[in-house]
Amino acid sequence: MTTGVSLYGWLLDVGRGVLGWLRGWWLVVFIGAQLAVLAFSPSSYRRESRAVVLRHIYYAAGPGLPGFTTLMALFNVVVIRIVVVTAFAYGLTQYALDAVVRVLVLELIPLVAALFVAVEYTIPGGSELYKLRRDGAFDRMRRHGIDPLSHEVLPRVLAGMFAVLLLAVLSCLLSLVLAYVAVHGFTLAGLPSYNHAVGNIFNPVVSLIFSMKTLAFALSVALLPVANALRDMPRRASRTSVELQGLVQMFVLMLIIEIASLIGNYY
Inside any domain, residue 35: yes
Inside any domain, residue 235: yes
Check: CB of residue 35 under 8 Å from CB of residue 153.
yes
What confidence score (pLDDT) does residue 5 get? 58
Inside any domain, residue 138: yes
Identify the sign of the CA torsion 191, 196, 197, 201: positive
What confidence score (pLDDT) does residue 220 get? 92
Inside any domain, residue 6: no
79's CB contacts (< 8 A; 6+ apart) are 100, 103, 104, 108
Inside any domain, residue 2: no
What confidence score (pLDDT) does residue 34 get? 87
pTM: 0.87
- Structural domain including 50 reads 17-266
What confidence score (pLDDT) does residue 218 get? 94
Inside any domain, residue 33: yes
Please give the tally of structural domains in the chain: 1
DSSP of 21-85: HHHHHHHHHHHHHHHHHHHT-GGGGSHHHHHHHHHHHHHHHTTTHHHHHHHHHHHHHHHHHHHHH
Inside any domain, residue 225: yes
Packed helices 154-184 and 191-201: angle between N→C axes, nearest 10 degrees? 130
- Render each residue's pLDDT in the chain as its tens digit; 267 residues: 455 557 777 777 777 777 877 777 788 888 888 888 888 888 777 777 788 888 998 988 888 889 999 999 999 888 888 888 888 888 777 778 888 888 888 888 999 999 999 989 998 888 888 888 888 888 888 888 888 888 888 899 999 999 999 999 999 999 989 888 888 888 888 888 888 888 888 888 889 999 999 999 999 999 988 888 887 655 545 555 666 777 778 888 899 999 999 888 877
